[in-house]
Amino acid sequence: MMNTAILRSLKLLLLLLFLGGCDLGVPVSGSHDRPESNPQDFTSHGFKIHFAITDSLDQPNTMFGVGEDFYVNWLLTNQTGAEQVYYHSGPIVFLEIWQGDSLVISNVYGLAWVADVLRDTIDAQQTLTVRWRAPNPVVPWHRVILHPGLYCAQASIRTLFGGREVSDPMPIEFTIR
């Protein structure tokens, strides 16, 4: 028979895993606790962020058919009034599609990059753009078909701009019908 203290600890651990697992894949940024509208526009530490899902005509949309391609768009504009330095090793933002707490696919699926740290700059009023034709990765040998259901698109920023941590946008819910 198990020691009572070990059994209590195991129950507490399972409870914490269950409760913590409810929000897996949803970034903590700001005071939001639910997916946001499409598109999203907000400012964080002097940087304007635009995050949207669009259809093939570049119109905001959150309803797509099985096998239909769409675009996940992330734009960051430097509104600090000065050039900002940033360092990165690989992509500066990961765009991901989640269903519940499971990562389905990302814009970097199948890619590898060297671990060299690169120094870049973003000029005042310059915009960095990442546009992903989802749900397919950039590697040509892998095709993804999303089945009917509710999904979330999210962006995870992987660098600091001018030493500032720019907030990730909230996930955007979309439906495959």
The CATH number of residue 19's host domain is: 2.60.40.2360
pLDDT for residue 140? 78
Domains: count for the chain = 1
Report yes or no: 96 and 72 within 8 Å, Cβ to Cβ: no
Q: Per residue in 25-42, pLDDT tens? A: 333 333 334 556 899 999
List the helix and strand counts (H, then E) for the chain: 1, 11
CA distance 131 to 39: 14
Q: Is the dihedral of CA 60, 103, 134, 121 positive or negative?
A: positive
> pTM of the predicted model, to two decimals?
0.78
Alpha helices in 4-158 (DSSP H): 4-21
60 prior amide bond cis, ω within 30: no
Domain, as residue range, for 37: 4-176
Is the previous residue joined to 39 through a cis bond, with omega within 30 degrees of 0? yes
